[in-house]
Structure 1
Amino acid sequence: MTAMDDRPVAPAEAALLIHEIEGHLLVESARTESRAAAARFTARLDWLSRAEREEVERAYAEDHLALTHRTWRHTAHRCRELRTEYETRYRALRNRLLAGCLLGLAFLTALALVLAGV
C-alpha cells in the first residue's frame, strides 16, 4: 500500500488508518440513525409547532446517540473482560496439556528404561 505521495505505508499504519475510517463511518452511521429515530418519533407528535418539533428532534437524537455510545462502551468493556477470561482459561489449558505431555513422556522414558534393563 502506498500513500497519496507514493511513499510506502507500513501495514500497521494502514491498519490503523482503516480502523480510523471505519470508526468515523460507524459514528456517522449512528448519527444518521439517531436523526432518523428522532424524526420518526416527532412525526407522531403532530400538535407540536415546527420550532418545538425541531427542539424535540434535536434532544431525542442527542439522547439516542448518547445511549448508542454507552452501549458501545459497555460492549467493548465486556469484550475486554471476556478476552481476558478466555486468555486465562487458554493459558491454564495449555499448561495442563503441556504438563500432561511431559508426564506422559517421563512415563514412557521410565518404561523404556525398565524394559531395556530387563
Structure 2
Amino acid sequence: MSITDKFLNDIEGHLLLAATREEGRTAAARFSAPLDWLTDAQRCEVERRFEAEYLALARASWQHSAERAGRLRDEYEATYRRLRHRLLAGWLLTCALVLGVLVVGLARSC
C-alpha cells in the first residue's frame, strides 16, 4: 500500500467517524426530545451516553465487517490459487498431449 493510499484511507476513516458521530448526536437528540421532564444537565448526559453507545456499536459493527471481509478475502484467494493451479495443470497436460501427438506423428512419417 502506497503512502497516498494510506493517507486516503486515513482521511476516509476520519470522515466516516465524523459522520457516525454526527448520526449519533442526531439520534441522541431524537431519543431525548420526548423526555421533557429531564433537566438540561440530565438531557446532555443522556445524549452524551447515547452518542457514546452509538459510536461503540458502530465500531463493533465495523470491526465485525472488517474481520468478515478478511475471512472472505482469504477464502477467495485460496479458491483463486486452486483454480490457477488447475488451469496450469490443464494447460501443461494439453501441451504434453499435443507434443505427444506431434512426436508420434513424426515417428510414423519417418
Fold match by TM threshold 0.5: yes
Structure 1 unaligned runs (5+)?
A: 1-10
How many angstroms does 1:15 deviate by? Answer: 2.2
How far apart are the structure 1 equivalents of 2:5 and 2:42? 44
Q: Which residue of 2 aligns with 1:83?
A: 73
Q: Which has the higher contact order (CA 8 A, sep 6+)?
A: 2
Q: Which residue of 1 aligns with 2:3?
A: 13
**What percentage of residue pairs aligned between the two structures are identical?**
46
Q: Which residue of 2 aligns with 1:41?
A: 31
Structure richer in helix, relative to its length: 2
User: Alpha-carbon deviations, 1:5-50, whole Å to 9, x = none?
Assistant: xxxxxx9222222221111111111111111111111112222222
Does residue 114 of the first structure (1) align with residue 104 of the second (2)? yes
User: Alpha-carbon deviations, 1:33-87, whole Å to 9, x = none?
Assistant: 1111111111122222222211111111100000000000000010000000000
Partner of residue 18 from structure 2, selected from 11, 15, 28: 28
Structure 2 unaligned runs (5+)?
A: none
TM-score by length of 2: 0.91
Matching residue's letter, 2:57: L
Q: Which residue of 2 aligns with 1:99?
A: 89
SS in 2 for 1:44: coil
Superposed CA RMSD in Å reads: 1.4
